[in-house]
Structure 1
Amino acid sequence: MSKIRRLAGETVLYGLGSILPRFLNFLLIRPHTDKFPPEAYSVITKLFVYTAVINVLFTFGMETAYFRFANKNDLNEQKVFNLTQTVVVSISLFFSLVLVLLADPAASFLSIPGHANLVVWLAAILFIDAVVAIPFARLRLQKKALQFTIGKLVNIGIIIGLNYYFLYVVFDPARGVGFVVLANLVANAFYLLFFAGMLRQWKPSYDRTLSPDMFRYAYPIMLMGLAGMTNEMFSRATLEWWLPEGFYPGHSADYALGVFGACYKFAILMNLAIQAFRYAAEPFFFANAADKNSPGLFATVNHYFIIVCCLLFLAVSTNLDIIGFLFLKNKAYWEGLVIVPVLLLGYLFLGVYYNLSAWFKLSDRTYFGTFLTVGGAIITIVANYILIPLYGYMGSSWATLICYASMAIACYLLGQKYYPIPYRVAAGMGYILGTVALAWGINKIPFDNLWIGTGVRGIIIIVYIGTIFFLERKSLTRAVR
């Protein structure tokens, strides 16, 4: 079995463990938009935006450090596990306690005064997420994709079950979004049971030589993660700050944030595919770094990654009408679906960037990743500041695309200087631009009947897939041998 076939198989398995749970979580958008109007949904958006950013600080880049050091032949994996887990638990415990102590002012900052309990629950969620981050990384290193998948699926099953129970059986409007947070907390508690055996093996430890080396390797990854989360979350955090009053006639900034936050989730479908690929690809890149044929292998991986992402872009961006009908029960949210194609394209470039970033991880130049993501964060802030007052949440969506495309271009140019890889740039851009043009043309075709339109677009997509297979048949055959 070829290395690319093995990578594809592992991506599918990790997809079941990462894409499927997050996709099932995505399906909660229907009951959430049913029970919560846009103003209330904006609270959910803000809560999970800030937790996503803080989670990067809690794990401190130690997942990548674990992969790097555990793959060194002269180091004991158990020792590396102990050291990285000690760092993560120590940091997350400290910051969790800070959040608990500052729960009241934090609740006021999040526009939920009087609900300090939600901040405490979020602190507990963040702490548990951090505690199990290295155990999940260990499953990936040990190729235990099935166990990884089971843990993720059971967790999301609990979240979905509790959401429906809280929202449709014991729902109390006074508690509102607190039910959503509580469901996540209970589900995360399951992880402590799931990893009980592995956590019992952990022995808190510190090595005078190795621990500082891990810190030096990991802290640029952490800074890169914080900047990356700024790129991903900043628009949702600041839309209400920079949106002019009355921009959307008759609606508040909270209303606009609720609509934006709900519709943003459809673009995350692309990000889910990228995440599944990253789970499989990160250890894959490290494992094949010493292979003399690795540059060509990495280039081929990136090429087919772009093709798959283009197909996903086409499928989602040309079917927004049926997506809105199926998943957004409250029609008030439908107006925001125009942002989805722009965000999908932005995430496609983010996926390309993750592929290209292999060069600075493999050459131990992780500080370049910090420079690139901090630069992206600056672009995000400036672009949002300029575009939100002009175009509202559509401007914020364009800021996302500009940021990720700029990061991908800069990463490619630097990589060719320090770690040359023969990427098929012209072919990749041809697929991206051709797919965008095709999607634009399809969306210009008027259909009076929703289901007929969906069927016709489905046929066009199938023909497009066949065309790609015809164009790639020779190289694809060589890749899977």
Structure 2
Amino acid sequence: MVVAGVGSMIVQVADRPLISRISGLAAAGLYGNCYKLGIFMMLLVGMFDQAWKPFVLERAERPDVDALIARVLTYFTVAAAGTFLAVAFFVTAAVTAPLFLGKPLFHPAYWDGLVIVPVVTLGYLFNGLYFVMLAPLMIDKRTGAVGAATWVGAAVNLGVNLVAIPRHGMMGAAWATCAAYAVMAATVWLLARATRAVPYEWGRLGAVGVWTAALWLVGARTGLAVRALLICAYPAGLWFSGFLKAEELAELRSMLSARSSRAAPEPPVGD
């Protein structure tokens, strides 16, 4: 796992020194400060990973563990895609509006770097997919495959950075990290197939991806009011499109019914 850790570290930190060397210290500082705004997705992914690893390893011997992994990937993708849209639509307005004693949270000198935030957030989303699809390799104790996946990601990160930073600056670096995490997720999926056929719900995952991309593209050209409507449209579109399966709808209705029963006041007791 040390080998995997080194590869993962390269993916996480290689962009800063490369930007500094290629584009200068000012560009590196701007990139680093704006990169931090991906913290919302980073926290979601980090907390999920801390809970996911022990959860799935405790259930490693269950006959339905593969189906469990597949369903968790679908649910995580739904939650992470919604978080991505919220950050992509509203983080710029949140940090540039004069909300703090008449001053913005981010100094205007940093505003040019805010264009990287959606890409950074998307990268963390792919990192979350990587964590979910890493589970079969962890269950089968294939540490060599984990190390190979992280080093593939590191190679992609370094290669894309070296090509993209001179042409596209900090946006090139952001896309390099995003691409690295996406490739890592794809690599662990491919490697895990050799020993474990997890029935991932590709149709549902694709539906989430297409719907999220469509909303993002529309929202990028609209104001805050329309973006708020698009955020509401995200779960509504999944609901009315029949995304949820019959058993999921039944479980959801059961949960809502139980919650409403607990919230209802008890009838008065007669004499």
Give the TM-score band, short-chain normalised.
0.7 to 0.9
* TM-score between both structures, scaled by the size of structure 2: 0.85
- Map of 1:229 onto structure 2: 9
What is the alpha-carbon distance in structure 2 between the residues aligned to residue 421 and residue 478 of structure 1? Answer: 25
- C-alpha offsets along residues 72-119 of structure 1, whole Å, 9 cap, x if unaligned? xxxxxxxxxxxxxxxxxxxxxxxxxxxxxxxxxxxxxxxxxxxxxxxx
Structure 2 segments unaligned to the other structure (5+ residues): 98-103, 255-271
Cα-to-partner distance string for 1:428-461 (whole Å, 9 max, x where unaligned): 133123212211111112xxxxxxx333321221
Cα contact 2:152–2:183 (8 A) shared by 1: no
CA shift in 2, pair 1:241/1:475, >3 Å: farther
The 1:382/1:235 distance shift into structure 2, 3 A limit, reads same
Q: 1:437 to 1:459 in 2, by over 3 A?
A: closer
Is the 2:41–2:125 Cα contact (8 Å) retained in structure 1? Answer: yes
- Which stretches of structure 1, 4 residues or longer, exceed 4 Å deviation after superposition? 478-481
- Matched with 1:428 is 205
Q: Kindly, what percent of the aligned residue pairs are identical?
A: 31
Please say which structure displays the higher CA radius of gyration.
1
Q: Deviations over 1:112-170 (max 9, x none)?
A: xxxxxxxxxxxxxxxxxxxxxxxxxxxxxxxxxxxxxxxxxxxxxxxxxxxxxxxxxxx
Stretch moving more, 369-378 or 231-240: 231-240
2:44 corresponds to 1:258: no
- Cα distance in structure 2, aligned partners of 1:265 and 1:461: 23
Match of 1:162 in 2: none
Change (3 A) 1:331 1:298: same
Unmatched 5+ residue regions in structure 1?
1-220, 244-252, 446-452
- Alpha-carbon offset, residue 478 of structure 1: 5.5
- The CA deviation at 1:257 is 1.1
Contact 2:119 2:178 in 1 (8 A): yes
Cα-Cα RMSD: 1.8
Residue 323 of structure 1 deviates from its aligned partner by 2.5
Indicate the SS of the match to 2:194: helix
Q: 2:187 aligns with which of 410, 413, 416?
A: 410
State the 1:360 CA deviation. Answer: 1.0
Q: Deviations over 1:352-398 (max 9, x none)?
A: 01100011111011111100101111111111111111110011011
Does residue 240 (structure 1) correspond to residue 10 (structure 2)? The answer is no
Q: Is the 8 A contact 1:324 1:337 kept in 2?
A: no
| 1:384 aligns to 2:161 (yes or no) | yes
Which SS does the other structure have where 1:318 is aligned? helix
State whether residues 123 and 179 of structure 2, in contact with CA within 8 Å, keep that contact through their aligned partners in structure 1: yes
Tell me, yes or no, if the aligned pair for 1:232 and 1:400 is still in contact at 8 Å.
Answer: yes
In the alignment, is the contact (CA less than 8 A) between 1:259 and 1:333 conserved in 2?
A: yes
1:404-450, Cα deviation, whole Å (9 max, x unpaired)? 111111211221221211011232133123212211111112xxxxx
1:159-183, CA deviations, whole angstroms, 9 ceiling, x for partnerless residues? xxxxxxxxxxxxxxxxxxxxxxxxx
Show the counterpart of 2:72. 301
Cα distance in 2 for residues equivalent to 1:236 and 1:429: 32
Residue in 1 aligned with 2:86? 315
Letter in 2 for 1:280: A
Change (3 A) 1:475 1:308: farther
Answering whether residue 146 of structure 2 is matched by residue 375 of structure 1, we say: no
SS of structure 2 residue aligned to 1:364: coil
Residue identity opposite 2:11 in structure 1: N
Question: For 1:305 and 1:373, how far apart are their aligned partners in 2?
Answer: 21
Q: Is the 8 A contact 1:343 1:397 kept in 2?
A: yes
Indicate the SS of the match to 1:223.
helix
CA shift for structure 1 position 329 = 3.2
Residue 356 (structure 1) aligns with: 133
Taking the aligned partners of 2:26 and 2:80, their CA distance within structure 1 comes to 31
> Is residue 224 of structure 2 the alignment partner of residue 454 of structure 1?
yes
Distance in 1, matches of 2:230 and 2:203, equals 24
Q: Tell me whether 279-288 or 324-333 shows the greater mean CA deviation.
A: 324-333
Quote how far apart the aligned CAs of 1:290 are.
Answer: 0.7
Between the aligned partners of 1:475 and 1:455, the Cα distance in structure 2 is 35
Q: CA deviation at 1:276?
A: 0.6
Does residue 1:474 correspond to 2:250, yes or no?
Answer: no
One-letter identity of the residue aligned with 1:263:
C
2:57 aligned residue: 286
2:141 partner SS: coil
> What's the secondary structure of 2:244's corresponding residue?
helix
Contact kept? 2:96, 2:106, Cα under 8 Å: yes
Aligned position for 2:105 = 328
Structure 1 stretch displaced more, 415-424 or 330-339 = 415-424
